[in-house]
Structure 1
Amino acid sequence: MGWLYMHRLHMDGHPTPKAYLDAQFTYSRKYEDGSTYAMRVLDSACVGNRVWYGAARVERSGQDSYVIALVCLVRWNPRDKEGLHLGYKDMEESMGPCEAECPERILRLLTPTTNEHALEWRRRCRDRLRLRSRSIEDGMHIRLTEPLTFTDGHVGSDFIVVKKGASLSFRPASGLGRYRIRNFRDLAYEVVPQLKVHRTVFVAPSVTPA
């Protein structure tokens, strides 16, 4: 399906893309032959108002229910001059979306599947979660799998982490400078062990009384 755009007045009173999409993918249908089809969003997240991820229970008459992942690309601009305030493009996990930032709580709701594209998408989501869960400490020596080239011409893969609160910057392991690395937590790297020299403590010799 392609992109669908709408004015915010057509969002059925829902104030946000998340609320609108939650309602959009929760419905029940009854067909002329008496069969039914229903979908209900169990949980969702709209990451950065750019991508909506939802776990939806599907119920078909005569079949066991199951839970799949839905993914919607989102364009949200409540001040758009042409009135195209919300745009979205919906996909199922079986289509193998490129976007793979689904929160863990939503992945846990999904029922097992044999669809290869869905399995691959779930794997990419979990791999990303593992990357982002790694501990980053001030002073840590990291080595990127792929070297980066910066705007000043520096090319490097070995950096020392400079962490101040939630802010991260990186200085070359050998050389000067300080750099920002975009989407660092999603990059592949290894931690280089650092040799720590411990201070030697000399114990004063005991004195035996005469």
Structure 2
Amino acid sequence: MGWSFYHRAPGVETNAAHFTRKLGDRYEIIAHGTVETVFYAAIRSHKTGTVSAYVALTRWKHDRTHNFGYTAMDETCLPAAHKAPKAVLDALTPTTHQDALAWRANCVRYHDQHAFLRQQLKPGMRIRLTHPLRCADNIRRDAFTYGWTGGRKQGRLTDGPRRFPMPNWRELVAALIHPDGSETLTPVGKHQTTHHRSSPAPHSEQR
């Protein structure tokens, strides 16, 4: 799963066309999408007929001969990238592979999280993250206030007068904090709570 770099002419072909050639005659791309710099595809095996997920991290760089690179894996490798479009997820056939199931669940949770926040998160609300983060002022925080940036309606996190630029913060929101201090868990927060409850307690040493 290392990176391969080579020359690829910019703007000549889509990622779908490019990776169709890379996959060869053994697979057919049924559905696909590129999110950020990751190419996701549902690929059908011509041998078995099953449809599984293919994930390729891509990178463009300034180099005359090796300007494009990628590293690819299938869903059984439990890729860390888990923002596959719904069209890709819907095209997959059932599987019993535990890592593939875990990856699919991560993707579904990603979509559920964003749908939940679109509906429930309003400017001025307090949120709690899954874990404290060390901010630019060297203070660890897990609670912030959500607000708009200017007139563009771009979400930002604040704590008093301080603003905290934080990429992909929505994936870290565990709960919405109400004025009375109670919380409503997000899909990520519910998963975190369930995972902690199901994790075995560490064994204590016998003396």
Tell me the TM-score range normalised by the shorter chain. Answer: 0.7 to 0.9
1:23-34 equivalences under 5 Å are 23-25=21-23, 27-28=24-25
Residues 36-82 of structure 1: per-residue CA shift (max 9 Å, x gap): xx31001211222x21110011121xx5x1111011121223x424x
Indicate the SS of the match to 1:108: helix
Distance change (3 Å), C-alpha of 1:166 and 1:21: farther
Residues 113-136 of structure 1: per-residue CA shift (max 9 Å, x gap): 011111111111112222222223
Task: Give, in whole Å, the separation in 1 of the partners of 2:162 and 2:2.
Answer: 45
Task: In structure 1, give the amino acid aligned to 2:85.
Answer: P
Distance change (3 Å), C-alpha of 1:110 and 1:148: same
RMSD: 2.3
Which one of 65, 74, 81 corresponds to residue 99 of structure 1? 81
- Indicate whether 1:109 and 2:91 are aligned: yes
Q: Which runs of 5+ in 1 are unaligned?
A: 29-37, 196-210
Match of 1:54 in 2: 41
1:186-205 equivalences under 5 Å are 186-194=171-179
Task: Give, in whole Å, the separation in 1 of the partners of 2:2 and 2:142.
Answer: 40
Residues 126-162 of structure 1: per-residue CA shift (max 9 Å, x gap): 1222222222321112122322221112332222211
Task: Give, in whole Å, the separation in 2 of the partners of 1:155 and 1:2.
Answer: 35
Which one of 126, 131, 145 corresponds to residue 146 of structure 1? 131
Task: Give, in whole Å, the separation in 2 of the partners of 1:16 and 1:85.
Answer: 16
Percent sequence identity over matched residues? Answer: 30
Match of 2:29 in 1: 41
Task: Give, in whole Å, the separation in 1 of the partners of 2:153 and 2:42.
Answer: 30
Match of 2:4 in 1: 4
Once the 2 structures are TM-superposed, how far is the Cα of residue 14 of structure 1 from its aligned partner? 4.2
Match of 2:155 in 1: 168
Distance change (3 Å), C-alpha of 1:145 and 1:5: closer
Indicate the SS of the match to 1:8: coil
Once the 2 structures are TM-superposed, how far is the Cα of residue 16 of structure 1 from its aligned partner? 4.0
Match of 2:189 in 1: none
Indicate the SS of the match to 2:104: helix
Task: Give, in whole Å, the separation in 2 of the partners of 1:166 and 1:109.
Answer: 34
Report if the CA contact (8 A) 2:32-2:87 is conserved: no
Count matched residues.
Answer: 175
- Indicate whether 1:155 and 2:135 are aligned: no
Report if the CA contact (8 A) 1:42-1:56 is conserved: yes
Match of 1:73 in 2: 57
Q: Which runs of 4+ in 1 moved over 6 A?
A: none
Task: Give, in whole Å, the separation in 2 of the partners of 1:170 and 1:98.
Answer: 25
Q: Which runs of 5+ in 2 are unaligned?
A: 181-207
Task: In structure 2, give the amino acid aligned to 1:179.
Answer: F
Q: Could you state the TM-score of these two structures normalised by the residue count of structure 2?
A: 0.74
**Structure whose alpha-carbon radius of gyration is higher:** 1
